């Protein structure tokens, strides 16, 4: 099973704050998924909760493990910015 490992108090507090108040819905959702993964929710459970593909949830966890907080944000993309919102 793949879970978030060693989530310290500082990162837990940061993730809880992000989950409640980050302007991006995507980041709030990813932060919530990381917190639940640290509580040993399975990837299939998280995929069901967030109505996302299990590979997507696995990618969120991988990016968290490799990049930390920065991994929860989308990378900059080339091209014209969207006209309507960021979510």
**Per-residue pLDDT reduced to its tens digit, 37-85:** 999 999 999 999 999 999 999 999 999 999 999 999 998 777 777 777 6
> Which secondary structure element, helix H or strand E, spans residue 38, and what is its range?
helix 25-38
Q: What is the rounded distance in angstroms from the CA atom of residue 77 to the CA atom of residue 49?
A: 28
Q: Which residues of 13-31 are buried (b: 16+ CB within 10 A; e: fewer)?
A: eebeebbeebebeebbbbb
- pLDDT at residue 3 is higher than 90: no
Q: Where are the domains of the chain?
A: 9-72
pTM, full prediction: 0.85
Residue 85's pLDDT is: 65
């Amino acid at each position: 099973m793949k879970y978030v490992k060693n989530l310290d108090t500082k990162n837990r507090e940061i993730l809880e704050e992000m989950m409640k108040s980050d302007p991006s819905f995507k980041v709030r959702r990813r932060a919530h998924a990381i917190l639940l993964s640290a509580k040993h929710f399975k990837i299939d459970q998280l995929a069901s909760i967030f109505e996302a593909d299990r590979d997507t949830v696995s990618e969120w966890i991988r990016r968290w493990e490799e990049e930390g907080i920065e991994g929860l944000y989308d990378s900059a993309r080339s091209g014209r910015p969207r006209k309507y919102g960021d979510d």
